[in-house]
A and B are shown apart, each in its own frame.
Chain A
C-alpha cells in the first residue's frame, strides 16, 4: 500500500515537472514569436515588406516554420495614409509548441497618403 502511494505520488509530481518544462519551452517559443512580429513590423516600416494585406508567407526561406500574415486597413478616410497594420506570426499547427502572436500598430504611410491624394 505504501509503495503504491509512493509510486502514484512520484508519477503525479513527475507529470507536473514535465508540464513545467513544457511551459518553459513554450515561453521561449512565445518570445521568439514576439521578436519575429516586431521584426516583420520593422520590415514593413523600412519597405522591405510591402505595406499591403498579404496571406501567410514564410518568414525566412531558410526557416519556413514561421510565417507572417499582414493585414492593412485604413483607419479614417479623412486621414489618408494612416493605416491600421496587424502582423500575425505563427509557427503552424504541426509544431511541437504551436504559437500564434499578433502585433498591431497604427502606421503612417506617406506613399499611401500621396496615392490617396492623387499626387
Chain B
C-alpha cells in the first residue's frame, strides 16, 4: 500500500522528488541514477554547445586581434605621414636661394634645396677647443665648421634591381651642413636618414605663377611646394597625377621667395605675407 502510494507520487512529480521515499527506496533510486549516466542525446547536445561556444570565442578572439592590428597599423601610418609631412614642411618653409650655390631644384619625385638654419652651438666655441687637441679627442667631425645654410634632399630609395620583390622606398632625407660646392657634389659629411618605410609614393609640384608644375630648375625658390605622400608604390605606366590610392598632401609656402629667376618671383608682385608667425596655435574641435 505504501509502495503503491509512492509510485503514483513518482509518476506525477517525476523521479527527482524522492523526498518522501522510505530510506531504503531512496538509496535504491540514488544507486540507479548514479549508474544510469547520460543519454546519447544529452552528450550530443553538450558537445554541440561546447563546440559552438568554442567556435564563437575563437572567431571573436581573431576578430579582436585583427581589429587591434588594423588600429595599430592605422596609427603608425598616420603618425609616420604626419611626422614626414611636418619635417618636410619645416625644411621647405626655410628654403632660400644661396649665392654661388642654388635655391631649389626639383622633379616630380625628388627635390633638393638650400635652407637657412642655425648652426650647432658648438661652432661658436673657442677655436682652441673646437679644433684643437680637445676636438681631436672627441668623435671626428663633431665640431666641423657649419654654415648658416644646409643642403637638403628628399627622394625615395629606388628598388633593388636584383630583387624582384623589392619595392620602392623608404623615403630618404640627405643633409649636408658643411657647405662647399665640392662637398655637396661629393656628399662630404652628408647625413642620410631613412625617414619612413610607410611612404612609397612622393609627388612634388611647384607653384609657378598661377599654375603648378612638376619641375623646378630655376636658381631661385618657388613661392610654394605641394607635397603629396602615398602608402602604395606608383603602378607601372601610371602618371603621378593619376595615382589611384589614397594620399595625404599639403601645400607649403616659402617666405624667402624671390631668388634670381623670373618664375621664382611672387605672382602678385606685392609679396603677400612674408613673415612666418610668432604666436602660433591651433585648436581642434570634435563634433
Which secondary structure characterizes the binding site on chain B? mixed
Choose one: A3, A31, A106; the contact of B280 (CB below 8 Å): A106
Q: In the complex the two chains form, is A31's CB within 8 Å of B287's CB? A: no
Choose one: A13, A31, A100; the contact of B81 (CB below 8 Å): A31
Using A28-B74, A45-B273, A51-B273 as known contacts, say yes or no to A35 and B250 having CB atoms under 8 A apart: yes
Q: In the complex the two chains form, is B272's CB within 8 Å of A51's CB? A: yes
Q: In the complex the two chains form, is A13's CB within 8 Å of B64's CB? A: yes
Q: In the complex the two chains form, is A45's CB within 8 Å of B283's CB? A: no
Q: In the complex the two chains form, is B251's CB within 8 Å of A39's CB? A: yes
Question: Of B16-24, B36-44, B102-110, B262-270, which stretch is located at the interface?
Answer: B262-270
Q: Is B99 an interface residue (CB 8 A)?
A: no
Q: Is B193 an interface residue (CB 8 A)?
A: no
Choose one: B78, B278, B287; the contact of A28 (CB below 8 Å): B78
List A residues 2-50 near B (Cβ within 8 Å).
3, 6, 10, 13, 17, 20-21, 24, 26-28, 30-35, 37-39, 41-48
Q: In the complex the two chains form, is A30's CB within 8 Å of B253's CB? A: no
Complex: A13 Cα to B63 Cα, angstroms: 11
Choose one: B89, B279, B284; the contact of A33 (CB below 8 Å): B284
Choose one: B89, B266, B278, B287; the contact of A98 (CB below 8 Å): B287
Q: Please, which residues of chain A bring their CB within 8 A of the CB of B56?
A: 6, 10
Q: In the complex the two chains form, is B282's CB within 8 Å of A42's CB? A: no
Hey, what's the 0/1 contact readout for B68-100 against A, CB within 8 Å counting as 1? 001100110010011001000100000000000
Q: Please, which residues of chain A bring their CB within 8 A of the CB of B89?
A: 38
Using A13-B64, A20-B71 as known contacts, say yes or no to A107 and B283 having CB atoms under 8 A apart: no
Complex: A20 Cα to B74 Cα, angstroms: 11
Closest to B279 in A: A106
Q: In the complex the two chains form, is A108's CB within 8 Å of B275's CB? A: yes
Q: Is B277 an interface residue (CB 8 A)?
A: yes
Q: Is A105 an interface residue (CB 8 A)?
A: yes
Q: Please, which residues of chain A bring their CB within 8 A of the CB of B275?
A: 82, 106-108
Closest to B63 in A: A17
Q: Is B220 an interface residue (CB 8 A)?
A: no
Q: In the complex the two chains form, is B282's CB within 8 Å of A108's CB? A: no
Q: Please, which residues of chain A bring their CB within 8 A of the CB of B285?
A: 99-102
Q: Please, which residues of chain B bring their CB within 8 A of the CB of A101?
A: 282-285
Q: Please, which residues of chain A bring their CB within 8 A of the CB of B187?
A: none
Instruction: Please give the distance in Å from A16's CB to the nearest CB on chain B.
Output: 9
Closest to A42 in B: B253
Q: Is A110 an interface residue (CB 8 A)?
A: yes
Choose one: B60, B70, B74, B249; the contact of A13 (CB below 8 Å): B60
Q: In the complex the two chains form, is A110's CB within 8 Å of B207's CB? A: no
Q: Please, which residues of chain A bring their CB within 8 A of the CB of B255?
A: 45
Instruction: Please give the distance in Å from A115's CB to the nearest CB on chain B.
Output: 10
Using A39-B250, A105-B280 as known contacts, say yes or no to A46 and B224 having CB atoms under 8 A apart: yes
What 9 pairs across the A-B complex have the smallest Cβ distances?
A108-B275, A105-B277, A45-B253, A47-B268, A47-B272, A42-B253, A45-B273, A111-B270, A39-B251
Residues of B whose CB lies within 8 Å of any CB of A are 53, 56, 60, 63-64, 67, 70-71, 74-75, 78, 81-82, 85, 89, 207, 223-224, 248-253, 255, 266-268, 270-275, 277-287
**10 new A-B pairs (CB below 8 Å) besides A27-B75, A42-B251, A48-B224?**
A13-B64, A21-B71, A28-B74, A38-B251, A102-B283, A104-B281, A105-B277, A106-B278, A106-B279, A109-B273
A sample of 24 cross-chain residue pairs with beta-carbon separation below 8 angstroms, ordered by A number, consists of A10-B60, A24-B70, A32-B248, A35-B250, A43-B253, A44-B272, A45-B253, A46-B224, A46-B266, A46-B273, A47-B223, A47-B272, A51-B272, A98-B287, A99-B286, A99-B287, A101-B284, A102-B283, A102-B284, A103-B282, A107-B273, A107-B275, A108-B273, A110-B274
